[in-house]
Chain A
Amino acid sequence: EAGVTQFPSHSVIEKGQTVTLRCDPISGHDNLYWYRRVMGKEIKFLLHFVKESKQDESGMPNNRFLAERTGGTYSTLKVQPAELEDSGVYFCASSQDISYNSPLHFGNGTRLTVT
Chain B
Amino acid sequence: LAKTTQPISMDSYEGQEVNITCSHNNIATNDYITWYQQFPSQGPRFIIQGYKTKVTNEVASLFIPADRKSSTLSLPRVSLSDTAVYYCLVGFNTGFQKLVFGTGTRLLVSP
Binding site for B on A (CB under 8 A): 4, 31, 33, 35, 42-45, 48, 50, 55-56, 59, 91-93, 95, 98-109
Contacts and interface: CB of A to CB of B under 8 A. Distances in A.
A55 B101 contact: no
Contacts of B45: 106
Given A43-B101, A44-B101, A91 B95 contact: no
Interface residues of B, number: 22
Contact of B46 (A35, A91, A99, A104): A104
Contact of A109 (B43, B46, B97): B43
Specify which of B95, B98, B100 lies most central, judged by the most chain A CB atoms within 10 Å of its CB: B98
Nearest to B94: A98
Given A105-B46, A106-B44, 9 more contacts: A33-B97, A35-B101, A43-B44, A98-B96, A99-B93, A102-B97, A106-B42, A107-B43, A108-B42
Contacts of A104: 44, 46, 97, 99
B49 A103 contact: yes
Contact of A100 (B42, B49, B102): B49
B41 interface: yes
Given A42-B102, A100-B92, A103-B34, A95 B43 contact: no
Query: Which residue among A35, A55, A91, A106 has the maximum number of chain B CB atoms within 10 Å of its CB?
Result: A106
B19 to A, nearest CB: 22
Contacts of B87: 43
B43 A4 contact: yes
Nearest to B30: A100
B103 interface: yes
Contacts of B93: 99-100
